[in-house]
Amino acid sequence: MTANVTIRIQQADFDIAREISALTRGRTDIGAVVSFSGICRDGDDGSPIAALTLEHYPGMAEAEIARHVETAMSRWPLTGVSVIHRVGRIAPGENIVLVLTASVHRQAAFAGAEFLMDYLKANAPFWKREESGSGTSWVEARHHDDEAAARWTKP
């Protein structure tokens, strides 16, 4: 059976249960599905935000995500992957990203999901701008996200 792969960048919210169902429908070879959902939180340092606005480079973002999905599928025996990333204005409490990985066994599904999330957090071509009471500002890359992604390139 071939792997089921979905990559979408969209403004609309997504339904996690519906996406898991779509990934696994008709498949009896899947023994594990790992899901990661990223949710907009109310600021990192205690200062509340009104919203995040996410922008991306259309075409390039999808191609880069697809390239990393292919890498994950070559490293682990994944039978399916879904990556859904929202763009536009997102308020605290709303979904931002969903990564689903399916495999015969849980270890591959966990590793694949972690690899893809580390890539998305550190290197995917998305830009975030925070809105707060003091104005708007672009969110800078974080050192710990780069370190998490770098561990996958170590020999």
Q: Is residue 109 part of a domain?
A: yes
Q: Is 110 exposed, middle or buried (0-12, 13-18, 19+ CB in 10 A)?
A: middle
Q: Is residue 155 part of a domain?
A: no
pTM for the model stands at: 0.90
Which residue carries 């907009």 as its tokens? 40
Mean pLDDT of 145-151: 65
Q: Is the pLDDT of residue 88 over 80?
A: yes
Distance CA 18, CA 121 (A): 24
Q: Please give the residue that has the higher pLDDT: either 130 or 137.
A: 130
Please count the structural domains in the chain: 1
Task: Write the CATH number for 114.
Answer: 3.90.1170.40
Q: Is residue 127 part of a domain?
A: yes
Q: Which domain holds residue 9?
A: 4-150
Q: Is the pLDDT of residue 141 over 80?
A: no
